[in-house]
Amino acid sequence: MTRGIRLWLVAAGGAGLAALLVAACLDLPRFGGDRHPYGDRAVRAALARHTANTVASVNFDQRAFDTLGEMTILFAAVLGCVVLLRQTRDEHRARPAPEPVARPVRRYALLVLPVALLTGLYVIAHGQLSPGGGFQGGVVAATALHLLYLGADYRALERVRPIGLYEVGDAIAACAYLVTGLAGLIGGTAFLANTLLPYGTFNTLSSGGTVPLLNAAIGMEVACAVVVLLARFLDQAVEIESLTGIKTPTDKERGK
């Protein structure tokens, strides 16, 4: 394909896309209008099942199957990272020497760490009541742990973060989501249907049927996945060194 044809192809495709987008935008409801047909239905369904946070109700009740897909994507992405960033045969681990940390940085990190961790856990636990939920809280809790790397050093972080446990936790949480869905299939009506548990009192921690359970499973899954992901990146950035430099392995070294 020559350069001219490629340019024409891009121009034609781009013009078509632009025309379709403009046509779609002209038909959109006006910004800030007071008619929200989907919102009204979602809020009604959420209130019927005593879930105070409508977004949590959409995520873990009305569209729980979508969330299963998203969780699987995160799981697969982290699995791919773990495989790609493993230690290969021509690399070795060098223990990083402890480095001095500026006093203000150390004080700030060690002060903020428990607050941030608690905030993350709070956001997970109150996902069905207030904005937030398993995903947001999980990321906050997981990144909070890494303040220890800023405030102390890499070894201190490794000590509070046995990576095997987090990998197991990631898998267990993903399974917990599936098992809760299957329980709906066996004990109730359909896969991931929120008909199994009592809906409880509105605006309390245990309200919403299976919503708090699925929310907690997602929180654990995301927190473990982010810790594993960051651990692999940190391993590569701090510990793993290439032995051979630019030398590429020959066929004999590859074992052929």
Partner 1 sequence: MADVVIVVALLLVAAAATCAVLVRDPVRQALVLAVLGVVLAVLFTVLQAPDVALSQLAVGSALTPLLLLLTVRKVRRRARQEGRGP
> CA–CA separation, 147 vs 232, rounded Å?
16
Residues 6+ away with beta carbon under 8 Å from 106? 151, 152
Cα torsion 132, 138, 141, 146: sign:
negative
- Taking the C-alpha atoms of residue 11 and residue 17, their distance in angstroms, rounded to an integer, is 10
Question: Per-residue contact track with partner 1, 145 to 174, x per CB under 8 A?
Answer: -x----------------------------
Instruction: Give the Cα-Cα-Cα angle 210, 215, 221 (nearest 5 degrees).
Output: 130
Q: State in angstroms the smallest separation of the CB of 132 from partner 1.
A: 5
Closer residue to partner 1, CB minimum distance, 132 or 200: 132
Q: Which of 39, 52, 44 is nearest to 208 (CA)?
A: 52
Q: Closest CB to partner 1 among 187 and 249?
A: 249
CB 149 to partner 1: min, Å: 10
With CB under 8 A as the contact rule, the residue among 64, 68, 71, 123 that binds partner 1 is 123
Three-state secondary structure call for residue 92: strand
Instruction: List all residues 6 or more positions away from 22 whose beta carbon is below 8 Å from its beta carbon.
Output: none
Q: Name which position in 101, 110, 112, 139 contacts partner 1 (CB under 8 A).
A: 139
d(CA 148, CA 158): 9
Does position 228 interact with partner 1 (CB under 8 A)? The reply is no
- For position 230 contacting partner 1 by CB under 8 A, the verdict is yes
Q: Is 135 in the site for partner 1 (CB under 8 A)?
A: yes
Helix H or strand E encompassing 56: helix 54-57
From the list 6, 41, 107, 247, which residue makes contact with partner 1 (rule: CB under 8 A)?
247
131 forms part of the interface with partner 1 (CB under 8 A): yes
Residue (197 or 227) nearer to partner 1, CB = 227
Cβ 15 to partner 1, closest distance in Å?
A: 24
The residue among 195 and 244 lying less far from partner 1, judged by its C-beta, is 244
* Residue 124 in the binding site for partner 1 (CB under 8 A): no
Question: Distance between CA 81 and CA 232 in Å, rounded?
Answer: 8
Angle formed at CA 218 by CA 62 and CA 53, multiple of 5 degrees: 45
Q: Tell me whether residue 151 or residue 184 sits nearer to partner 1 (CB atom).
A: 151
Give the span between the Cα atoms of 144 and 137, in whole angstroms: 10
Closest approach of Cβ 234 to partner 1, in Å? 6
Number of residues that bind partner 1 (CB under 8 A): 26
Least distance to partner 1 from the beta carbon of 25, Å? 16
Where does this chain bind partner 1 (CB under 8 A)? 53, 55, 123, 131-133, 135-136, 139-140, 143, 146, 226, 229-230, 233-234, 236-238, 241-242, 244-247
